[in-house]
A and B are shown apart, each in its own frame.
Chain A
Amino acid sequence: MTPAPERTVLRLARPYLGRLVGAGLLAAGTELAGLALMATATWLLVTAAQRPPLDALTVAIVAVRALAISRGVLRYTERLAGHDAVLRIITDVRARVFGTLIGRPTPPADHRSGDALSRLVSDVEAVQDLLLRVLVPATGATAVALLAIAGTATISPAAALPLAVGLLVAGVLLPAAATALTRHTADRIAPLRGALATDAVDLTQGAAELAAFGATASALDRAAGRARELARLERRLAVAGWALDGCGTLVAGATAAAVVITALRADVDGVLVAVLAVGTLTAVEATLALVGAARQWSQLRAALHRVTALLLPDPPATDPAVVAADPDRSAVEHPGHTCEIDAVEVRYRDDAAPALDGVSLDLPAGRRLAIVGPSGAGKSTLLGVLTGALRPTAGTAILDGVPLWAYEPEQRAALVGGLLAEAYVFHATVRDNLLLGRADATAEELTAATATAGLDGWVREQPAGWDTIVGEDGAQLSGGQRQRLALARALLAAPGVLVLDEPTEGLDPAAADRVLVAVLASLAPDRSLVLVTHRLRGLDAFDEILVLDGGRIAQRGSAVELAGSPGWYRDQWQMQEAAERGYLALAP
């Protein structure tokens, strides 16, 4: 059972509670000043009609002016104080939402980036609205309602009764109705907006495919259908919502009329009857702010639930051993690292066949290891174990004497990592993308890494050089350039154990050979390299080659040994060699 999202938000708001309470008090002050202003002004006029000496009115005249000015000033400070407090809370919320996304090992299947965008930009605003448009005005309205009833009761207890009824309708009944009427529809609006955002991403990022396959029209139809459905819901919401606003006006007028009748019957002084009537109108109108607040609140709930779901810490999945393990910092700086993987088994689901089954390997410092095998053989899973992203179901994966998963993520990344599948290129400059590998890299190191990856020529050709901005997910780069950039970044990171998953993918064979040779030459002799590849060329420089198949090690040995013994490796080697010799002979 998750706690109410409002409670989570309030817990987050605790450091800023002083600011929030201050804003609430200012809101109450503003409303009271407004009420007092109208009441005093009415008293002034009605009294003046009875022609008293001017002195009798002086205090009231001063009070009217003071109230008029203080209402404006109070409202100004209330708004500023409220917004400032809320925006501070929002900053925390945004960072926490991102932090939670980081903590989730793999995004759930329905977690789409367009949806995530809608979440941060729009749902987070829901937290802002909850505090600013629900909590603060509700405080002010409630204070006014209570004080108005108390004030009326001192003049005429009989007139206080219809006022209390009117305020109850305006402040409790109508808001409750607003909540009930809009909640159902509001719950359906947020997912529709998310779906529309996903449509927008599909229509933009998939525009080429949609056009080529003549599917643009139907995708547009779907998105337009969603937009229409959203409009339909919004219209329905408006009919119910504005009916309540109409009722609010009606309640204000009816209450004022009832108060006048009651007060006259109770023989209240004529001057005070007028004051009560005008005061009642103002008080009920102020209390009607609760209807708006309730409507806001019910519209926000779905979004609030989703935001707070992202704010709640996941149940602790960490092993106590994680805390206990404290790898020596100097070990990171130390050049040689040894890694041992022993009888590792990984199952993604209990009822499924293991993705890795009894895999063992040894990586002393300076080892060059290649992993090959058909797709689905478990290569990515093995890399996941090796980089600590996956914790084996059975067996051990130990780096420098400490289980891999027990390292702090940042420390582990410095020890083992590199170019992994789905490497992402950020919408940032070439330099910033590279510096992600190592933040303190020098210009020489940048140049060296790009030269090894074969990207240095391209960088030089760009007018903006290192400051060239690459599009979202490297969309403004060709596939090969993108891959080279990701490779250069991995080389720059230079972890103790460098892992490269298909580093030459998307490059033509000659370029792929050149890059692999350059990478091997650039590697310090005490650093280890783990290469996953489908290309068997250039593997003779490796100490050991593992052939994975069906999650098990099918064959292992040097390139010469494997090429000489029957199996998947020899078949592939022959096929690729034959095809490639023909190709290379062809290239002028």
Chain B
Amino acid sequence: MLVGVPRAGRRQGTGAPVSRRPFDPRLLRRVPATRRQLLALGSLGVIAAALIITQATALATLLAAAAGGRLDRPALAAFVATVAARALLLWAQGVVAARTAATVKATLRTELLGAVGTRGPAWLSGQRAGQIATLAGRGLDALDAYFTGYLPQLVLSVTVPVAVLARLTFADWSTALIVGVTLPLIPIFGALLGWQAQAATERQWRRLSLLGGHFLDMVAGLPTLRAFGRARAQVEVVRRMADGHRVATMRTLRIAFLSALVLELVGTLSVALVAVPVGLRLLGGGLTLQTALLVLLLAPEAYLPLRAAGSRFHASMEGLTALDEAFTVTAPASAPAPARRIPPSAPSELRFDAVTVEYDRTVALRDVSLTIRAGERIAVIGPSGAGKSTLLGLLLGFVTPTQGRVLVDGVDLATVELDAWRRELAWVPQRAHLFAASLTDNIRLGRPDAPLAAVHAALRTAALDDVVRQLPEGLDTLLGERGHGLSSGQRQRVALARAFLRDAPIVLLDEPTARLDGAAEAAVLDATRRLVAGRTALLVAHRPALLRDADRVLRVDGGRVTELTSVPAAAAI
């Protein structure tokens, strides 16, 4: 039974910090737009505290009068007016908080996906699409709970207790004393119980991420699972993963809810501590009913925001964890990029100068020196995994040399503006990715404004026009993420059509005729010949037919590159 990889070898998030502050100061720096919104939230919190005091005072007056069978009209009017004001304030608070959440999410989503783009394919190899998709989607949506639920409460938990204490001191100082002494118990208990819940939530979050990645893997591999008669057995694995999720979640919740219970009890018992002497003094006539009612209404208000903030903190921790992960992923690269030079256009010479490329586990290329002159068509052969694709990766700027340099007309590629340089290149990868867009847009990847006539020409040269005719909506057919609806050979020809349309002076082809049938291959070879004519071309070849047109043949084996001097006899045919 296939059980994905929950452990081993995978970087889990990135060094999750041990303790988490209720507010991440990086937010102000990384999303400056939130500064004003957070300031507004703070001001609204101060007004809210004032309104709570006013409302409780008015209600206490109203009820004290009512207890005597009398309707206090001014108090009633004041009560209704403060209620209306609080209603308005609640709305304003909610809207500001939601706006902040939306702004932060949109900014971080963009940055997250931007980091994926700017850091390039090499950085991505260790990260999983599923995990990033989860973070950019549901992971960041957890911020809603943080911004609309937790943060306003955090503000209130400062302003309201202060206001309540001040009002109580004015009304009845002994009550204020008891409240002042018991209030700190809430954050103390919260901190003691909260940290455990924090660690537990962090674990739960990771499991969720993994579940996401695991499921994506399983769905993508469903045809294979079916082929081996294992699909139904995997249902059990998914069930087991989900059940593991349940057990882990319940463990977290038991602690999280327990801390809410303790905080609630601390609050309630403190109010009881206040209420008993107040009641006794009422009995003894040492206190007016109005003050007693004010104490009854206000004392719980002092504890409430602290408790609410505490209980929502658990709910918002998922959001904070996601925020931390997003900030870590999008953190600016440590070394500032050197000044980028504009690369020479249509260069006359590409040179590898003693280039070595090392990956984590292997050395892909060893001390490779090589010169490619403009207009040369060079075939690269060698066993699979020998380093042929790395050679292309170096020219594309995906891979940087561990040692040595790649020079374009004498300019080190490491100092060059890569986007500008890549405009000189057209690339056909080994396994082309099809984007979730129409076939036209997939082909126009490198030239989004290409006229339709050019697209048709590219289709014809890539021997794809027959395929288009069979598609339900022709050129407008939407292609799935993994190219549903196209065979691998057809997908390869889409990649070729892309390269044709790109019309760049240098062409890099990574096995363009892999996965093609004889007839299709002949058509593509014809097209490839047209493509490389008059251009510099580097062709990684597994199929001999490509060698016919090569000016030079390089052999890569074990990371070393040797040049074959004789041209194949078959070229004569």
Given contacts A111-B484, A208-B429, are A218 and B448 in contact (CB under 8 A)? yes
Please tell me if the beta carbons of B125 and A476 are within 8 angstroms of each other in the complex: yes
B164 interface residue per 8 A CB criterion: no
B185 interface residue per 8 A CB criterion: no
Chain A residues within an 8 Å CB radius of B268: 68-69, 71-72
Chain B residues within an 8 Å CB radius of A99: 232, 235
Q: How far is the CA of A439 from the CA of B229 in the complex (A)?
A: 11
Q: How far is the CA of A129 from the CA of B345 in the complex (A)?
A: 58
Please report which residues of chain B, range 247-300, place their CB below 8 angstroms from some CB of chain A when the two chains form the complex.
249-250, 253-254, 257-258, 260-261, 264-265, 268-269, 271-272, 275-276, 278-279, 282-283, 285, 288-289, 292-293, 296
Residue in A252, A254, A420, A479 whose CB lies within 8 Å of B223: A420
Please report which residues of chain B, range 55-95, place their CB below 8 angstroms from some CB of chain A when the two chains form the complex.
55, 59, 62-63, 66-71, 76, 79-80, 82-84, 86-88, 90-91, 93-95
Please tell me if the beta carbons of A208 and B121 are within 8 angstroms of each other in the complex: yes
Nearest B residue (CB) for A216: B117
A106 to chain B, nearest CB (A): 8
The main secondary structure of chain B at its interface with chain A is: helix
Stretch among A146-154, A221-229, A311-319, A397-405 lining the B interface = A221-229
Stretch among B195-203, B379-387, B527-535 lining the A interface = B379-387
Q: How far is the CA of A19 from the CA of B92 in the complex (A)?
A: 39
Please tell me if the beta carbons of B234 and A274 are within 8 angstroms of each other in the complex: no
Q: How far is the CA of A571 from the CA of B521 in the complex (A)?
A: 13
Please tell me if the beta carbons of A270 and B67 are within 8 angstroms of each other in the complex: yes
Please tell me if the beta carbons of A585 and B133 are within 8 angstroms of each other in the complex: no
Stretch among B105-113, B171-179, B452-460 lining the A interface = B105-113
Nearest B residue (CB) for A435: B2
Given contacts A228-B106, A253-B83, A475-B125, are A49 and B282 in contact (CB under 8 A)? yes
Please tell me if the beta carbons of A586 and B511 are within 8 angstroms of each other in the complex: no
Q: How far is the CA of A572 from the CA of B422 in the complex (A)?
A: 37
Please tell me if the beta carbons of B133 and A117 are within 8 angstroms of each other in the complex: yes
Q: How far is the CA of A534 from the CA of B547 in the complex (A)?
A: 18
Q: How far is the CA of A199 from the CA of B481 in the complex (A)?
A: 9
Please tell me if the beta carbons of B120 and A109 are within 8 angstroms of each other in the complex: no
Please tell me if the beta carbons of B103 and A427 are within 8 angstroms of each other in the complex: no
Residue in B99, B249, B448, B484 whose CB lies within 8 Å of A215: B448
Question: CB-defined interface of B183-225 with A at 8 Å, one 1/0 digit per residue?
Answer: 0000000000000000000000000100111111111111111
Residue in A64, A101, A261, A428 whose CB lies within 8 Å of B2: A428
A387 interface residue per 8 A CB criterion: yes
B46 interface residue per 8 A CB criterion: no
Nearest A residue (CB) for B521: A534
Nearest A residue (CB) for B518: A572
Please tell me if the beta carbons of A220 and B114 are within 8 angstroms of each other in the complex: yes
A495 to chain B, nearest CB (A): 9
Please tell me if the beta carbons of B257 and A79 are within 8 angstroms of each other in the complex: yes
B374 interface residue per 8 A CB criterion: no
Please tell me if the beta carbons of B66 and A264 are within 8 angstroms of each other in the complex: yes
Stretch among B4-12, B16-24, B331-339, B401-409 lining the A interface = B4-12
Q: How far is the CA of A106 from the CA of B1 in the complex (A)?
A: 23
Please tell me if the beta carbons of B238 and A214 are within 8 angstroms of each other in the complex: no
Determine which residue in B62, B88, B230, B389 has the highest number of CB atoms from chain A within 10 A of its CB, and name it.
Answer: B230
Please report which residues of chain A, range 58-101, place their CB below 8 angstroms from some CB of chain B when the two chains form the complex.
61, 64-65, 68-69, 71-73, 75-76, 79-80, 83-84, 87-88, 90-92, 94-95, 98-99, 101
B347 interface residue per 8 A CB criterion: no
Chain A residues within an 8 Å CB radius of B282: 45, 48-49, 51
Question: CB-defined interface of B127-153 with A at 8 Å, one 1/0 digit per residue?
Answer: 111101110111001001000100000
Interface size class of B (residues with CB under 8 A): 35 or more
Please report which residues of chain B, range 485-528, place their CB below 8 angstroms from some CB of chain A when the two chains form the complex.
485, 487-490, 495, 498, 502, 511, 514-522
Stretch among A357-365, A407-415, A517-525 lining the B interface = A407-415
A387 to chain B, nearest CB (A): 7
B231 interface residue per 8 A CB criterion: yes
Chain B residues within an 8 Å CB radius of A508: 381-384, 542
Chain B residues within an 8 Å CB radius of A197: 133, 136-137
B486 to chain A, nearest CB (A): 11
Please tell me if the beta carbons of A534 and B516 are within 8 angstroms of each other in the complex: yes
Please tell me if the beta carbons of A207 and B121 are within 8 angstroms of each other in the complex: yes
A218 to chain B, nearest CB (A): 6
Chain B residues within an 8 Å CB radius of A94: 238-239, 241-242
Stretch among B154-162, B349-357, B365-373, B562-570 lining the A interface = B562-570
A44 interface residue per 8 A CB criterion: yes
Please tell me if the beta carbons of A72 and B79 are within 8 angstroms of each other in the complex: no
Please tell me if the beta carbons of B113 and A203 are within 8 angstroms of each other in the complex: yes
B30 interface residue per 8 A CB criterion: no
A305 interface residue per 8 A CB criterion: no
Chain A residues within an 8 Å CB radius of B93: 242
Stretch among A335-343, A442-450, A499-507 lining the B interface = A499-507
Given contacts A208-B429, A209-B445, A245-B91, are A45 and B128 in contact (CB under 8 A)? no
Chain B residues within an 8 Å CB radius of A436: 2, 224-225, 228, 230
A323 interface residue per 8 A CB criterion: no
Given contacts A121-B211, A216-B117, A387-B227, are A583 and B547 in contact (CB under 8 A)? yes
Please tell me if the beta carbons of B109 and A227 are within 8 angstroms of each other in the complex: yes
Please report which residues of chain A, range 191-206, place their CB below 8 angstroms from some CB of chain B when the two chains form the complex.
193, 196-206
Please tell me if the beta carbons of B480 and A505 are within 8 angstroms of each other in the complex: no
B546 to chain A, nearest CB (A): 9
Chain A residues within an 8 Å CB radius of B383: 480, 508, 511
Q: How far is the CA of A104 from the CA of B314 in the complex (A)?
A: 39
Please tell me if the beta carbons of B238 and A95 are within 8 angstroms of each other in the complex: yes
Please tell me if the beta carbons of A469 and B94 are within 8 angstroms of each other in the complex: no
Chain A residues within an 8 Å CB radius of B9: 464, 469
A465 interface residue per 8 A CB criterion: no
Interface size class of A (residues with CB under 8 A): 35 or more
Q: How far is the CA of A481 from the CA of B385 in the complex (A)?
A: 7
Q: How far is the CA of A49 from the CA of B543 in the complex (A)?
A: 100
Nearest A residue (CB) for B248: A87
Nearest B residue (CB) for A96: B235
A18 interface residue per 8 A CB criterion: no
B116 interface residue per 8 A CB criterion: yes
Please tell me if the beta carbons of A375 and B398 are within 8 angstroms of each other in the complex: no
Please tell me if the beta carbons of A506 and B103 are within 8 angstroms of each other in the complex: no
Please report which residues of chain A, range 518-552, place their CB below 8 angstroms from some CB of chain B when the two chains form the complex.
534, 536
A390 interface residue per 8 A CB criterion: no
Chain B residues within an 8 Å CB radius of A507: 384, 542
A418 to chain B, nearest CB (A): 8
B38 to chain A, nearest CB (A): 16
Chain B residues within an 8 Å CB radius of A587: 381, 555
Please tell me if the beta carbons of B66 and A49 are within 8 angstroms of each other in the complex: no
B180 interface residue per 8 A CB criterion: no
Given contacts A120-B215, A246-B88, are A257 and B239 in contact (CB under 8 A)? no
Residue in A95, A215, A223, A277 whose CB lies within 8 Å of B235: A95
Please tell me if the beta carbons of B220 and A113 are within 8 angstroms of each other in the complex: yes
A219 interface residue per 8 A CB criterion: yes
Determine which residue in B138, B279, B489 has the highest number of CB atoms from chain A within 10 A of its CB, and name it.
Answer: B279
Q: How far is the CA of A420 from the CA of B27 in the complex (A)?
A: 49
Nearest A residue (CB) for B66: A273
Q: How far is the CA of A113 from the CA of B117 in the complex (A)?
A: 20
Given contacts A87-B250, A90-B242, A219-B117, are A374 and B519 in contact (CB under 8 A)? yes
Given contacts A68-B268, A480-B385, are A462 and B91 in contact (CB under 8 A)? no
Please tell me if the beta carbons of A473 and B246 are within 8 angstroms of each other in the complex: no
A430 to chain B, nearest CB (A): 11
Q: A48-B292, A198-B436, A200-B137 are in contact. List 11 more A-B contacts (CB 8 A).
A: A72-B268, A76-B261, A125-B138, A196-B136, A199-B113, A211-B396, A211-B418, A253-B55, A261-B71, A427-B4, A432-B3
In the A-B complex, list the 6 residue pairs whose CB atoms are closest, starting with the nearest: A480-B384, A582-B570, A413-B229, A253-B83, A242-B94, A238-B98
17 cross-chain CB contacts under 8 A: A54-B283, A87-B249, A87-B250, A95-B236, A99-B232, A117-B219, A122-B137, A200-B116, A203-B116, A214-B422, A241-B98, A242-B94, A257-B80, A409-B226, A509-B543, A571-B518, A586-B568
